[in-house]
Amino acid sequence: MALSDDDVRRVAELVRIGLDESEVKPLGEELSRIFSWIEALREVDVEDVAPMTSVVEMQLRERDDAVTEGDCRDRILGNAPAADEGHFVVPRVIE
């Protein structure tokens, strides 16, 4: 899958990276190779392959879902740079 220069610029904008014009062509070629590899992987038949959590056979460790310490909101919020009415205050990231 070949990407146009405009596609590369759009992807760079979406992932919030700055690109010089000299970087657009090489990045486009690299992304095209990655997409070609992904297309090749889609051709592999995995119909009868069970999902795996590891390449090594293992049993996941489990623990009881129990509250060990609670009611410490004020202590936790004491570490925050800003808090309001029992909540963390963070800068706005979506405009």
Q: Could you list the pLDDT tens digit for every one of the 95 residues in the chain? A: 788 999 999 999 999 999 999 999 999 999 999 999 999 999 999 999 888 878 888 887 898 888 888 888 999 999 999 999 999 999 888 87
- Whether 11 maps to a domain, the answer reads yes
Inter-CA distances, 89 with 72, 73, 76, 85, Å: 18, 14, 13, 10
pLDDT for position 14: 94
Query: Does residue 26 sit within a domain?
Result: yes
Asked whether residue 12 is assigned to any structural domain, the reply reads yes
Q: What pLDDT, on the 0 to 100 scale, is given for residue 53?
A: 78
Structural domains in the chain (count): 1
Containing structural domain, residue 17 = 5-42
pLDDT value for 9: 94
The whole model's pTM is what?
Answer: 0.50
> What single-letter amino acid sits at 23?
E
